[in-house]
Amino acid sequence: MPADEAAPGRRRHPYGALVVGMAVCQLVGWGVTYFTFPVFVQPMQAELGWTTTQINGALTLGLVLCDLASIPAGHWFDRRGGREMISLGASFAALMMAAWSRVESLAGLYLVFAGMGLSQAMALNNMSFAVVTANVSDFRRGLNMVTLVAGLAPSAALPLAGWLTAEYGWRVALLALAAVQFLGCAVVAFVVLRGTIGSRTHESAEDAARDGSPLRAALRRPAFWLIVVAFSIHWFVSSGFSMHGLGMFQERGMSREAALGLMTFIGPAQVAGRLTLMVLRPAASGRAIGRILWIALAAALAGFASLGHASFGALAAFVIVYGAASGVLIIARLTVVAELFGLRGYGAISGAISTAAIAARTGAPLTLAILHDYFGGYDEIVVMLACLALIGAAAFFAATSRTGQPANQ
């Protein structure tokens, strides 16, 4: 059965309010709980005297717990649907934002971000995508729309957080963002998710026993681990470049202002790539677009490694290709999971991929910092990233080499 066909008992919703609602939840949720974080680092340092490392350690703790909680959150969704979990998780995130505004101790900050990580696993991470795959007939187009809108999160959240902090102080800004989180994510999810189901909601005990665990079945397949390798590399490259790209551009002869300008191109390039896909091939196979974009990503990084000191135009061309490829690869990951392993158990399987890639998702910035100190520059690191992209491409090609449909739908 094709991956986008409904399994027995599955309720399918038309493309529309549900997809828009999930897109808004991703936009608001990630914008408020993650992308605003850098805005508050310096004000907290000035008032509380903590180091950058101490403050960023709280964010890392939250990301680790988010990934660790992804599998149980996925299991819950598959069995019971997402309305209660996403609404509660988003509400809990708003509560954590309010608690953050009151912190006076480093231990309190770490406790807040431990709660934040759990709330992100419940309401963000893979949840909106799992809702779309389980409930929307044209789920590929739906995933494209959600990721397209979510890509605007930093562009929307950073200016808002910066203005609130400058006008009212960081503590009041956090309270205002907590209200935005509650209204724009928790309330929206509660409204639009009415009547939705999980990927295994209608399974009886007999059905579940007969068909077995979709996660266990996926774990037994080499394709699962190849996908983990491929997208662990993608997460590592993306996370590392987002934190070290500024220094890489400066080492290639750019001023700080020019390097900042190049970094700002990445987000719009990601959105442009997703928008192009949505207009030209909204229902494109994750296998097909993934193969094309992995080649583009590897070629872009290889070209960047060979540039040395380069013109702004050459580096801008790299940023456009890199950003578009990286942005669309996120869509490829979301759709190829359904294509390879089926819709049944999508939440748990996608959560397991996130958990298996936890070291790559959270450790890239520190790893590249250590390597930079060891090599005394970024040249070797850029070559390493290009080689990793080639390995990721090979793993993705190997994982998607069989074109047969998954057994579990």
- The predicted-structure confidence for 184-194, as pLDDT tens digits, reads as follows 999 999 999 98
Q: Which CATH superfamily is domain 17-202 in?
A: MFS general substrate transporter like domains (1.20.1250.20)
Handedness of CA 147, 149, 150, 154 (dihedral sign): positive
pLDDT beyond 60 at 405: no
Of 122, 130, 95, 123, nearest to 188 by C-alpha is 123
Which pLDDT band, with edges at 50, 70 and 90, does 164 fall under? very high
Which pLDDT band, with edges at 50, 70 and 90, does 244 fall under? confident
* Token output for 31: 């914008």
- The predicted-structure confidence for 142-162, as pLDDT tens digits, reads as follows 888 888 888 888 778 888 998
pLDDT beyond 70 at 245: yes
Q: Determine the pLDDT at residue 231.
A: 93
pLDDT beyond 50 at 386: yes
Among 18-32, 104-118, 314-328, 392-406, the minimum mean pLDDT is found in 392-406
Beta bridge partners of 136: 13
- Mean pLDDT (whole number) for 161-184: 95
> Cβ(136)–Cβ(84) under 8 Å?
no
- The predicted-structure confidence for 342-383, as pLDDT tens digits, reads as follows 888 888 888 889 888 888 878 888 788 888 889 998 999 999
Q: Determine the pLDDT at residue 395.
A: 97
Among 80-94, 129-143, 183-197, 388-402, the minimum mean pLDDT is found in 129-143
> Cβ(133)–Cβ(346) under 8 Å?
yes
Q: Which CATH superfamily is domain 211-399 in?
A: MFS general substrate transporter like domains (1.20.1250.20)
Backbone angles phi, psi at 124, to 5 degrees: -125, -130
Which pLDDT band, with edges at 50, 70 and 90, does 309 fall under? confident
Number of Cβ within a 10 Å radius of residue 172: 13
> Cβ(235)–Cβ(360) under 8 Å?
yes
Which pLDDT band, with edges at 50, 70 and 90, does 6 fall under? very low
* Token output for 320: 């456009």
Write out the residue limits of the CATH 1.20.1250.20 domain(s) in the chain. 17-202, 211-399
| 311/242 Cα distance (integer angstroms) | 21
> Torsion angle of alpha carbons 307, 313, 318, 321, nearest 10°?
-150
- Mean pLDDT (whole number) for 214-227: 91
Q: Determine the pLDDT at residue 7.
A: 40
- Mean pLDDT (whole number) for 105-115: 96
In degrees, rounded to 5, the angle at the alpha carbon of residue 394 between the alpha carbons of residues 390 and 398 is 170
Mean pLDDT (the chain, rounded) = 86
> Cβ(290)–Cβ(396) under 8 Å?
yes
| 149/247 Cα distance (integer angstroms) | 29
Most confident of 6-10, 229-233, 335-339: 229-233
